[in-house]
Structure 1
């Protein structure tokens, strides 16, 4: 199963940027606020969280979305599960640098993620969290996964720059690995992505995006 190192550059404000996809990993304005708006609120979280709630993500990246989920679960007092799919894992050192801006707010959680960082895929755990990162091309890895997510974070790099993480066949696999009544959220409102998710069986809604992004998309498995 091939996976390749992430290729990173760093902006002056500390934001990591993928040189392969020419796309920042998170909002330059406020990464955590964007994650909470798009991926948590977009999936009806934290309100829907309960013990064993399972979130899956296309594009594990810096682990920021996992961090936000874990913090919300701790606040809600429940233990959650997480599975991330990542073709280009960062090193632990890169992850530590990317998550440094959030270490003050979540010191033990950031430290735990960096200490257990799955450079080649693998498991991480902590109080309130059981996580696994599956390294490799999601188009190869997701079909064989035996899980079903209650919520999906679709956070690959932009569809224009990383089309393979948004193709209709993969969106159909996302739907096949979604629990009944499960949801997805994504920052993109690209028409072809929405149509692929609708074709896969999701009732898709366009929502106000974060910051300067006008629209995002959410959906529920019909």
Structure 2
């Protein structure tokens, strides 16, 4: 993967599809409900929120996961800022991001606050959210990162179309950058992904997935 901007097509005028990977950025059924089920539910959020909580993500995409998490953080009455770090090889243009997020009026207040300040990559301090998007190939950037996350969202494109983001050596790096007792969730239940997570030290559970996906994966650092 190279360091460049996302190239998109649009399905039903509202669902962005990656031209690089021929895969939609979120569920054609309901992307926000998918985020709630897979990433928030899979990490037992907001119940596990705590001061100085840190979420990390492979695949920033439209920013939908971040916005849903930020909304949950604020609505659960947390004090201080949520830290959110995302690794993205192909950042989406601001206009495309706004178009995609317009499909979810439930998060419009958070989307507008974010889009008003977002510069396309780097850091963004929104008071109750401290966002960092690290641009480039996560196989190179994650090993250099010095942070540790309490929860991980693995949201790269499907393992069949984007296998680089699901290899065992990268999953080992995810484990190295997970705080003690940290968790992880992903929409895929591919056997090689689950085995890679187990080899990295996670206790892995296959649970019901969202929509047409029968299963998904959640894990805790063993």
Contact 2:147-2:177 within 8 A present in 1 as well? yes
> Partners in 2 of 1:67 and 1:151 — Cα distance?
15
> Partners in 2 of 1:107 and 1:6 — Cα distance?
23
Give the aligned length. Answer: 220
> Partners in 2 of 1:113 and 1:86 — Cα distance?
17
- 1:185 is displaced (CA, Å) by 0.1
Alignment match, 1:194 = 194
- 1:20 is displaced (CA, Å) by 1.0
Task: Tell me if 1:100 matches 2:98.
Answer: no
Contact 1:208-1:214 within 8 A present in 2 as well? yes
- 1:13 is displaced (CA, Å) by 4.5
- 1:105 is displaced (CA, Å) by 2.0
TM-score computed with the length of structure 1 as normaliser: 0.96
Gaps of 5+ in 1: none
> Partners in 1 of 2:150 and 2:27 — Cα distance?
25
Structure 1 residues 9-48: aligned runs within 5 Å:
9-48=9-48
1:3 partner SS: coil
Alignment match, 2:82 = 80
- 1:114 is displaced (CA, Å) by 1.6
Alignment match, 1:138 = 138
RMSD of the TM alignment (CA)? 1.3
Gaps of 5+ in 2: none
Alignment match, 2:116 = 115
> Partners in 2 of 1:91 and 1:125 — Cα distance?
20
1:101 partner SS: coil
Q: Which sits farther off after the overlay, 193-202 or 127-136?
A: 127-136
> Partners in 1 of 2:33 and 2:45 — Cα distance?
14
Contact 2:102-2:108 within 8 A present in 1 as well? no
- 1:117 is displaced (CA, Å) by 2.6
